[in-house]
Chain A
Amino acid sequence: MTLNFLELKGLHKKFGDITALNNVSLNVSKGEVIFIIGPSGCGKSTLLRAVNWLTPPDKGEVWLEGDIVGSLSSKLTIEESKLLNSFRAKMGMVFQQFNVWPHLNALENVVRAQMVVAKRNKAESEVKALKILDEVGLSDKINEWPDNLSGGQKQRLAIARSLAMDPILMLLDEPTSALDPELVGEVLSVLRRLVNNGMTMLIVTHELGFASKFGDRIVFMDGGEIIEEGIPEKILKTPKTQRLKMFLEKLNITSFKQ
């Protein structure tokens, strides 16, 4: 049996009475692009945040390249939390609200974590940052402050910040949901490049068109569980479960209204 690149085993998470994750398991191969869809509150963001232990699961395990991420118990030892930080550096995370750092200009946003976490020197970090900012189309904005950037530019900056850490996996939590419709395209085109470069990605999204075109697999979640998963064709065209059918119908109705 080949080793899975990323393996989620029996993840559970409760927030008070609400079950966000209920026995979720998922295997991801290297280079796979997986889109996670589902109604709001279904646990898809929690799943993504459990992968890098930003929201530690109550129960369950996360394995990356054969190493356990976080801990088997829900409390981390000092050694484990050190290891966790090095795992996180390898797993780039992109947030719906961008979360770029407003007190640092664009270049410094991409440089800072390289110096602090990866312990690269300033010159090296800047060379890398300039290269990546160019790749995401922000080479003319390197001295700009985040507050002066558009939403699409902020999100591309956030992606660049993660890419500078040489991630082997990208976790994207609704990367285009907070954007004006006309700005979605520029972020998607950056993501498309990542797909073409063979980056392994978990993407929570409502962009079904993008998911069907670039996803290797779509995972549909509801009520903290994975209800259905499979290739986009199968999930979107011939849904097996009633819940997925209803979800897709609702999305179609809203897109008609638009």
Chain B
Amino acid sequence: MNLEYTIFIDYAPTILLGFWLTLKIVVCAIAMGIPLGLFLALGRRSNFVFLSFLSTSFIEIFRNTPFIIQVFLFYYVLPFYGLRLSAEYVGILALAAFGSAYFAEIIRAGIDAVPKGQLESARAIGMTDWQSMKNIILPQTLSIVIPPLTNQTLTLIKESAILSTITVHELTMTGLMVQGETFRPFEVFIMVALLYWALNETIATIMRRFEKNINKNRNTGPTNNSSAILKQNENTR
């Protein structure tokens, strides 16, 4: 098969524009999704039955339905309730909601992986529930959850391709359009795939470094647990 090299040059600006939108959407979705995930994780563990019920329902609904269906629902149903948003914003919301359900489960597993005695010793010295969480439990959760959170982030970035179905001009949509103009699927989708790969590889590398930084002072610690959670997380997909 002959490669048409000029396509790489001629259409690079168009494709990069799509990539730029993907990047913006994904960054927004993650910036919303991780805090929401933390909130849901704490909510699910909460003693307040109502909060726990709401968080659990949210997580289970978004974890157990296809993302593409969620996207359609957000896109077609929200306007009925007077919420008219552009496709990009709908995409961000859908991606954040979907991601947060997974983030929540990862964070919850991470909190549960911290030995029970840690919370007890914090409570026994007079810390409130929230002080114990903030000072003792969550910092230890962080090093446990970084690998599976990274994993989920990469998945989310790839899932963002589905937003092309609701007319968001992100990377995949742009690729489809360029291929419609050029009839050169191989060149176009190689470009698209390379850009997804580059973005994910960059994130993975940064997170690996971050993880090492956190654990560098500690000989053992919960790093052994994290691979178990990672596996568990993959199995639940």
Contacts and interface: CB of A to CB of B under 8 A. Distances in A.
Contact of A86 (B122, B126, B217, B221): B126
A99 interface: yes
A112 B137 CA distance: 13
A116 interface: yes
A93 B123 CA distance: 10
A117 B125 contact: yes
Contact of A116 (B118, B135, B143, B218): B135
A88 B220 contact: no
Interface in A38-92: 52, 54, 81, 85-92
22 contacts: A52-B124, A54-B124, A85-B128, A86-B126, A88-B123, A88-B125, A89-B125, A93-B121, A93-B124, A95-B121, A99-B118, A100-B121, A101-B122, A102-B218, A103-B143, A117-B126, A117-B127, A118-B126, A145-B218, A147-B220, A147-B221, A148-B219
A165 interface: yes
Contacts of B136: 101, 103, 112
Nearest to A100: B121
Contacts, number: 76
B140 interface: yes
Nearest to B129: A81
B120 interface: yes
B131 interface: yes
A107 to B, nearest CB: 13
B79 interface: no
Given A116-B135, A147-B218, A147-B219, A99 B128 contact: no
Interface residues of B, number: 23
Nearest to A164: B125
B185 interface: no
A231 B234 CA distance: 59
Interface string B92-110: 0000000000000000000
A135 B9 CA distance: 72
B120 A99 contact: yes
A102 B126 contact: no
A102 B135 contact: no
Interface of B: 115, 117-118, 120-128, 131, 135-136, 139-140, 143, 217-221
A112 B135 contact: yes
Contacts of A86: 126
Report the contact-size class of chain A (Cβ under 8 Å from the partner).
20 to 34
Interface in A139-173: 145, 147-148, 158, 161-162, 165
B120 A95 contact: yes
Contact of B117 (A97, A112, A116, A118): A97
A105 B221 CA distance: 13
Contacts of A88: 123-126
Contact of B127 (A105, A116, A162): A116
Chain A CB within 10 Å — which of B115, B136, B221 has the most?
A: B136
Contacts of A95: 117, 120-121, 124
A6 to B, nearest CB: 16
Chain B CB within 10 Å — which of A92, A99, A100 has the most?
A: A99
A113 B125 contact: yes
Contacts of A99: 115, 117-118, 120-121
B126 A113 contact: yes
B131 A116 contact: yes
Nearest to B119: A99
Contact of A101 (B118, B124, B126, B143): B118
B130 to A, nearest CB: 10
Nearest to B118: A99
Contacts of A102: 140, 218, 221
B225 to A, nearest CB: 12
A158 B121 contact: yes
Contact of B126 (A103, A147, A165): A165
A71 B66 CA distance: 49
A145 B219 contact: yes
B109 to A, nearest CB: 18
B140 A165 contact: no
Given A91-B124, A165-B126, 16 more contacts: A52-B124, A54-B123, A88-B126, A92-B125, A93-B124, A95-B117, A95-B121, A101-B136, A101-B140, A102-B140, A102-B218, A103-B140, A116-B135, A117-B127, A148-B219, A162-B125
